[in-house]
């Protein structure tokens, strides 16, 4: 068997209260690598069509990859997958750092497939290949911090590593995430609600199994070279350790791509008040990092004075700062960190929560919702108290509007009506993150074509458009963007399958990954072959959504990005020429230009014969 894997997936049926081990087919390892690739294979083969994401028929998959838990830098990752109850993308995917991913492997499994629904709240205890389904009645309703502590105490082991949902997941808030090590989150697509729908509160792991390596000497030599490259790199070796992910606020604002007031503009003169430099000078206590992390971009902050004095914990990250900051017109880190800590406590995605509150603020601003909806709270841009209060209300489904917003943008807009759907800043029902599409056109195309919906982590076109890596590209041109995007999407799909932190790829190329994956697994990978795996995974994920009716009509952007010229900043007067770039994107992908469905010929070329037959029926 190839190495780097445990070779086993745990399948648990919560309805029956039974579990079994299944071997990972060897050809999966070569074709799909792990992580996202394995999950896509399983969901394509097993996910019933047309189901409700919160029904027992949904599958909730947890995966690691071959690099997870090895000495490869930043390998402390895992990811969750399933049908999203939040979006129309079908494919739900959320990745997290923290400490749990490696522990799942040490406990004996590459991944877990959770099926059905437990009759009563339960949690899983997985240790050295053994599995127990345990009563969770006493922790149901507890927040993330209490849950972690109670499980450790109950199992009598401080070193147990757990993932869990908070009250938001239990209450089926569609923005809910799955938390790891108190502060790290598999945040997007509402998979915390899927976990809650299964009455599954937590998964605790502990183990001492080894991850075997085919050629340890070569693997460690490759790791040494890779580490040197990371230390030598301006981003991984300096900027991220020094300022954390919030190094970006001033950079992105200067580029006119920092969304403000629900994406009404991409620049604000007070953005610096939310910046990484300000964070470092004011609230930072110390740097932290995930397991096996060599970058340590996480911040640990404390608010020492003012209305939020006493708020202490990890963060805030760049995306979080933007979501509760610029998106809501708030330029003070104390309020942002207070909202962030509520999200951690209750287990809810910061990007989604900030985005949807900013949307509600614009609805309030335009009179689409009123004091009658907000129960007298003036939900105006810049009102930090309202922002923090609505973070809590959404997480706990409190109040009329809190409960509506907890349903996510699309369902909330159905209830609110009055044209509110036109002001949603999202794609496929997933709220956009911290980059204004009118200021970065390649990134806009990335949003439109991301499999999971409005997302910056399926291809980070900010790299060429603002950071000048792997080559400097003009952010306000369509030229060359579709081609570069394809490379990025495939590279990221591969990294999400090998399952390490994407930040390493600021310093590393696919060839660097091949130099480590080859001695680890025994497969003779090249950078080219790894990108081919990425392309295969991307197409398989695409077919999961296409067979349920998703296609070109869904690969779109909010009207604001394509029809309203940017009012200020470097992109002033510009809109995104999306349709032009989409045509080129589909052509390069070998997809049908009219529908956005992969062609059978492309799928056969990637060894996806079953999917090719299915695609032929769709076209």
Partner 1 sequence: MWLLERRTIYLIPPHTLLEDVKRIFKGLSINIKEVKIEKSSWRILGAKNGVLVKAALSFTIKQINELMIFGETSISELEVYSEGNENFNKMLKRRIEIGLLRAAGV
> In this structure, is the dihedral angle defined by the CA atoms of residues 313, 241, 273 and 562, taken in order, positive or negative?
negative
The answer to whether residue 466 forms part of the interface with partner 1 (CB under 8 A) is: yes
For partner 1, the closer of residues 75 and 250 by Cβ is 250
* Span interacting with partner 1, options 99-107, 377-385, 502-510, 552-560, rule CB under 8 A: 502-510
The answer to whether residue 453 forms part of the interface with partner 1 (CB under 8 A) is: no
What per-residue string of b and e applies to 304-326 under the rule 16 or more CB within 10 Å gives b? eeeebeebebbbbbbbbbbbbbb
Q: Tell me which of 78, 359, 409, 503 binds partner 1, using CB under 8 A.
A: 503
For partner 1, the closer of residues 171 and 536 by Cβ is 536
- Alpha helix (H) ranges present in 198-307? 216-232, 240-243, 248-254, 276-282
Instruction: Give the footprint of partner 1 on residues 271-300 (CB under 8 A).
Output: 276-277
In the complex, minimum distance from the CB of residue 176 to partner 1, in angstroms, rounded to a whole number: 22
* Span interacting with partner 1, options 45-53, 176-184, 244-252, 541-549, rule CB under 8 A: 244-252
In the complex, minimum distance from the CB of residue 149 to partner 1, in angstroms, rounded to a whole number: 31
For partner 1, the closer of residues 402 and 534 by Cβ is 534
* Span interacting with partner 1, options 147-155, 212-220, 352-360, 491-499, rule CB under 8 A: 491-499
**Which CA distances in Å does 181 have to 101, 151, 604?**
11, 12, 42
Q: Tell me which of 133, 487, 572, 580 binds partner 1, using CB under 8 A.
A: 487
List the Cα angle 111/115/119 in 5-degree steps.
Answer: 130
CB hemisphere CA count around 57 (13 angstroms):
8
Contact status, residue 117 vs residue 56, Cβ threshold 8 Å: yes
Q: Site mask, partner 1, residues 523-542, x = CB under 8 A? A: ---xxx--x-----------
Contacts (Cβ under 8 Å, ≥6 apart) of 393: 399, 401, 402, 405
Distance between CA atoms of residues 121 and 140, nearest Å? 7
In the complex, minimum distance from the CB of residue 272 to partner 1, in angstroms, rounded to a whole number: 11
Contact status, residue 91 vs residue 544, Cβ threshold 8 Å: yes
In the complex, minimum distance from the CB of residue 248 to partner 1, in angstroms, rounded to a whole number: 6
Identify which of 130, 34, 26, 18 has the alpha carbon closest to the alpha carbon of residue 77: 34
The answer to whether residue 507 forms part of the interface with partner 1 (CB under 8 A) is: yes
What's the chain's length in residues?
619
The answer to whether residue 2 forms part of the interface with partner 1 (CB under 8 A) is: no
* Span interacting with partner 1, options 113-121, 382-390, 520-528, 537-545, rule CB under 8 A: 520-528
Distance between CA atoms of residues 488 and 494, nearest Å? 10
What per-residue string of b and e applies to 243-273 under the rule 16 or more CB within 10 Å gives b? bbbbbbbbbbbebbbbbbbbbbbbbbeebeb
For partner 1, the closer of residues 396 and 504 by Cβ is 504
Q: Tell me which of 41, 83, 198, 229 binds partner 1, using CB under 8 A.
A: 229
Cis status of the peptide bond prior to 177, with omega within 30 of 0: no
Instruction: Give the footprint of partner 1 on residues 561-600 (CB under 8 A).
Output: none
For partner 1, the closer of residues 378 and 470 by Cβ is 470
Strand 178-180 to 161-164 pairing = antiparallel
The answer to whether residue 470 forms part of the interface with partner 1 (CB under 8 A) is: yes
The answer to whether residue 54 forms part of the interface with partner 1 (CB under 8 A) is: no
Q: Tell me which of 126, 155, 205, 248 binds partner 1, using CB under 8 A.
A: 248
* Span interacting with partner 1, options 63-71, 245-253, 407-415, 585-593, rule CB under 8 A: 245-253
CB hemisphere CA count around 131 (13 angstroms):
20
Q: Tell me which of 469, 568, 580, 618 binds partner 1, using CB under 8 A.
A: 469
Residues that bind partner 1 (CB under 8 A): 229, 232-235, 238-239, 243, 245, 247-248, 250-251, 254-255, 276-277, 318-319, 456-457, 460, 462-464, 466-472, 487-488, 491-492, 495, 501-511, 526-528, 531
């Amino acid at each position: 068997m190839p190495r780097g894997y445990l070779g086993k997936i745990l399948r648990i049926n919560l309805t029956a209260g039974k579990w079994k081990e299944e071997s990972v087919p060897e050809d999966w390892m070569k074709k799909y690598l792990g992580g996202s690739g394995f999950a896509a294979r399983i969901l394509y083969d097993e996910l019933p069509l047309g189901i409700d994401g919160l029904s027992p028929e949904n599958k909730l998959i947890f995966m690691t990859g071959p690099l997870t838990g090895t000495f490869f830098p930043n390998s402390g990752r895992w990811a969750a997958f399933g049908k999203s109850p939040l979006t129309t993308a079908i494919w739900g995917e959320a990745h997290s750092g923290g400490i749990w991913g490696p522990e799942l492997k040490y406990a004996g499994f590459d991944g877990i497939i959770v099926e059905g629904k437990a009759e009563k709240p339960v949690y899983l205890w997985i240790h050295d290949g053994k599995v127990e389904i345990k009563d969770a009645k006493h922790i149901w309703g507890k927040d993330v911090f209490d849950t972690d502590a109670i499980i450790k105490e109950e199992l009598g082991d401080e070193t147990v590593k757990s993932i869990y949902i908070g009250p938001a997941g239990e209450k089926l808030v569609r923005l809910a995430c799955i938390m790891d090590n108190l502060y790290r989150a598999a945040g997007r697509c509402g998979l915390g609600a899927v976990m809650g729908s299964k009455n599954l509160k937590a998964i605790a792991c502990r183990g001492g199994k080894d991850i075997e390596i085919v050629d340890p000497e070569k693997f460690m030599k490759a790791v040494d070279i890779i580490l040197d490259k990371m230390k030598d790199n301006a981003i991984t070796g300096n900027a991220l350790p020094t300022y954390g992910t919030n190094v970006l606020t001033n950079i992105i604002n200067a580029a006119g791509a920092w969304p403000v007031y629900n994406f009404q503009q991409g620049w604000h003169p007070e953005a610096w008040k939310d910046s990484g430099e300000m964070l470092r000078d004011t609230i930072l206590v110390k740097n932290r990092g995930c397991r096996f992390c060599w970058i340590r971009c996480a911040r640990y902050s404390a608010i020492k004075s003012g209305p939020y004095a006493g708020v202490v914990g990890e963060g805030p990250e760049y995306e979080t700062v933007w979501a509760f900051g610029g998106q809501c017109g708030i330029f003070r880190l104390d309020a942002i960190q207070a909202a962030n800590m509520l999200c951690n406590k209750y287990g809810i995605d910061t990007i989604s929560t900030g985005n949807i509150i900013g949307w509600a603020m614009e609805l309030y601003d335009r009179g689409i919702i009123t004091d009658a909806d907000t129960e007298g709270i003036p939900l105006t841009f810049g009102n930090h108290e309202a922002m923090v209060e609505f973070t809590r209300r959404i997480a706990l489904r409190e109040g009329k509007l809190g409960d509506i917003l907890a349903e996510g943008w699309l369902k909330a807009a159905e209830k609110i009506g009055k044209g509110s759907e036109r002001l949603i800043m999202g794609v496929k029902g997933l709220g956009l993150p911290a980059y204004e599409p009118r200021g970065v056109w390649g990134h806009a195309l990335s949003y439109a074509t991301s499999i999971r919906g409005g997302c910056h982590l399926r291809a980070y076109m900010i790299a060429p458009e603002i950071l000048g890596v792997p080559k400097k590209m003009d952010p306000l041109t369509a030229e060359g963007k579709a081609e570069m995007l394809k490379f990025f999407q495939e590279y990221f799909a591969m990294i999400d399958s090998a399952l390490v932190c994407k930040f390493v790829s600021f310093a590393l190329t696919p060839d660097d990954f091949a130099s480590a994956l080859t001695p680890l697994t025994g497969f003779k990978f090249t950078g080219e072959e790894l990108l081919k795996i990425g392309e295969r995974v991307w197409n398989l994920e695409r077919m999961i959504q296409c067979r349920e009716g998703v296609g070109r009509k869904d690969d779109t952007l909010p009207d604001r990005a394509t029809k309203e010229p940017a009012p200020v900043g470097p992109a002033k007067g510009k809109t995104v020429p999306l349709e032009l770039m989409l045509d080129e994107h589909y052509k390069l992908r070998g997809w049908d230009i009219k529908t956005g469905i992969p062609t059978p010929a492309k799928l056969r070329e990637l060894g996806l014969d079953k999917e090719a037959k299915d695609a032929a029926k769709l076209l």
